Amino acid sequence: MEQIAELLIIGIIIGLMSSVIGLGGGVVIVPALSIYLGFTHHEAVAASLMTISLVTGFNVLRFHFQKKIHWASVFVLVISGSLAAFIAGRTAAWFSEPVLIVLFILLLAFLILKILLLPDRQETQSKTSVSVFKMAQFGSFAGLISGLTGVGGGSILTPILLSNRSITRNRVIPIVNVFMMAASFFGALAFALEPVRGTDVWQIGAVHLNSAFIIFLGALPAAWFGTKIQDSISLKLQKTLLAVFLIIIFIRMCMHLLDFL
């Protein structure tokens, strides 16, 4: 019962993160499951990807009905990101747990630097659209990192898109959620195709479906609330929340890495 309550709390946190500031929650789920709930880092990554695909799928439905998603602009992003996430998820099993943790820490350091360099206000748009090649680049990079580290790709794409003058800020979070939904699903699928490692009847490959679903249930009300207030969050506040979350997780993951040394 205590673990269920902890999973629900994790869900509330990531529901708000994904719908308000564009983080899929992997930066919270992976450390929480691996450090506090006894999952291996590999299983935590798999559960994180499955959870993020469910939560962001819910967000996408709400954003779609609110007419906030420009589907033509995310098609290439989703296709390239999903393919890269699936390939990365299949190759993640080749790496040891300490190596995956180091990759996660390096990713956090990059993201913190990227976010801190963002201006507090978005500059005036210089173009009306982003090229297909650019979108494919963004998607492939974010999908690759997503499949290897368990983040939904939002922590990669959000700072990149916020700093891109071709995309208005109110389009960033809906675009990022569509990407996270697809990339996380295909990343999770890759982990699900692995041989079952435990005796849990709810486990498919490396994915613990029961844990992912409980986190999702906790995320539902928070994601519903977050999609309603998303437009009222200033860029400065969004940037600050992103940086604070990532710095806290960075410090905790560095401490976790020391356990392997």
Structure letter (DSSP) for residue 200: -
pLDDT at 129 over 70: no
The structural domain count of the chain equals: 1
Identity of residue 233: I
Average pLDDT over residues 183-212: 81
CA count, 13 A, side-chain hemisphere, 56: 31
Q: Are 24 and 56 in contact (CB under 8 A)?
A: yes
pLDDT of residue 198: 61
CA distances from 73 to 3, 40, 132, 165, 213 (A): 40, 37, 8, 15, 30
CA 187, CA 234: separation in Å to the nearest integer? 31
| Kind and range of the H or E run holding 30 | helix 26-31
pLDDT of residue 259: 80
pLDDT of residue 1: 66
pLDDT at 211 over 70: yes
Average pLDDT over residues 55-69: 87
Given pLDDT bands bounded at 50, 70 and 90, which one contains residue 24? Answer: low
pTM of the predicted model as reported, rounded to 2 decimal places: 0.71
Q: Are 138 and 166 in contact (CB under 8 A)?
A: no
**Structural domain that includes position 34:** 2-258
Q: Which residue has the higher pLDDT, 31 or 158?
A: 31
Nearest to 158 by CA among 140, 180, 137, 127: 180
pLDDT single digits (tens) 139-191: 888 888 777 776 666 767 777 777 766 677 677 878 888 888 888 888 888 88
| Kind and range of the H or E run holding 208 | strand 207-208
Mean confidence (pLDDT) of the chain: 80
CA count, 13 A, side-chain hemisphere, 169: 22
